[in-house]
């Protein structure tokens, strides 16, 4: 049954991407913030479709910590789930992502319309500068910036090296850092097809202030909070 439900979800996901692509193209003349809001409606549908087909939903703890003014979100990255769900949880946002994602037919084109911060991971220092320059622009235009500090999807129970790019952006832009932990990988594996039923837990931490701190210190504080929160929510067993 899980195989059939996961297949049904995938069919709906691909179909809606194809159908929604013309909408993403049509709204290109609009302001980036407006484009992001409109394109974000697809994410709300996918979250509903995921619950209907796979019995997979989520709950958010600490939503009161989400500020009204833009900040940098540093989050754990375990699967593709958070790249969709965060659009329904947080205010309009821009993502720091590898530029290769924009080359994916249809999906990448729609993604480009949201004006992400696309970087070349192999470009080292220039990539960090790109995050800072483009990130400040997005923040000044009222959008949150989402950064996965480990740089790639990390399986549940594992821990990657935290890169300071997101913290550096926060310090330069003089905005706070919002740490986020979740266990999406327990239900939607990073390289798996099957979606397990259950409830993904998303925990939003208190804002990390940047006044008087260097980027490395801010990054370290975010890492400590995220990993401690992961220890608290890790090991939740799927219900199906």
- 8-17, 73-82, 112-121, 192-201: segment of lowest average pLDDT: 112-121
Q: Which fold does the domain 2-233 belong to in CATH?
A: Glycerol-3-phosphate (1)-acyltransferase (3.40.1130)
DSSP state of 55: -
**In this structure, what token pair is assigned to residue 222?**
């975010």
**In this structure, what token pair is assigned to residue 80?**
């593709």
CA–CA separation, 91 and 5 (whole Å): 30
Beta partners for residue 147, in sequence order: 74
Question: pLDDT digit string (tens) for 186-215?
Answer: 999 988 899 999 999 999 999 999 999 999
Sequence length of the chain is 240
Angle, helices 41-54/32-39, rounded to nearest 10 degrees: 20
Residue 125's pLDDT is: 67
Residue 167's pLDDT is: 95
Cβ-in-10-Å burial (0-12, 13-18, 19+) of 136 comes to middle
CB 203 within 8 A of CB 181: yes
**In this structure, what token pair is assigned to residue 27?**
């709204």
Residue 37 pLDDT exceeds 90 = no
Average pLDDT of the segment spanning 1-19: 92
Question: pLDDT digit string (tens) for 110-136?
Answer: 666 667 887 776 666 677 777 888 899
Residue 239 pLDDT exceeds 60 = no
CA–CA separation, 213 and 183 (whole Å): 29
CA–CA separation, 135 and 137 (whole Å): 5
Picking from 237, 224, 94, 71, the residue whose alpha carbon sits closest to that of residue 159 is 224
Where along the chain do its domains lie? Answer: 2-233
CA–CA separation, 240 and 228 (whole Å): 27
- Please tell me whether residue 173 adopts helix, strand or coil conformation: helix
CB 145 within 8 A of CB 72: yes
CA–CA separation, 168 and 43 (whole Å): 29
């Amino acid at each position: 049954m899980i195989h059939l439900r996961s297949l049904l979800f995938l069919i709906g996901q691909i179909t809606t991407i194809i159908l929604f692509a013309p909408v993403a193209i049509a709204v290109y003349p609009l302001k980036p913030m407006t484009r992001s809001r409109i394109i974000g409606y697809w994410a709300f549908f996918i979250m509903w479709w995921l619950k209907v087909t796979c019995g997979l939903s989520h709950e958010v703890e600490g939503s009161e910590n989400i500020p009204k003014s833009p900040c940098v979100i540093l989050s754990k990255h375990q699967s593709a789930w958070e790249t969709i769900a965060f659009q329904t949880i947080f205010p309009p946002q821009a993502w720091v992502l590898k530029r290769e994602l924009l080359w994916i037919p249809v999906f990448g084109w729609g993604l480009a319309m949201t004006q992400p911060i696309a970087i070349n991971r192999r470009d080292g220092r220039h990539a960090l500068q790109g995050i800072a320059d483009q990130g400040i622009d997005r923040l000044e235009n009222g959008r949150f910036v989402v950064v996965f500090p480990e740089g790639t999807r990390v399986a549940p129970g594992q821990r990657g090296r935290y890169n300071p790019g997101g913290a550096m952006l926060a310090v330069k832009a003089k905005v706070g850092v919002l740490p986020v932990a979740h266990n999406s990988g327990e239900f939607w594996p990073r390289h798996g097809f099957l979606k397990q039923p259950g409830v993904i837990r998303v925990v939003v931490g208190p804002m990390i202030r940047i006044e008087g701190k260097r980027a490395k210190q801010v990054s370290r504080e975010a890492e400590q909070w995220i990993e401690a929160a992961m220890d608290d929510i890790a090991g939740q067993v799927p219900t199906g």
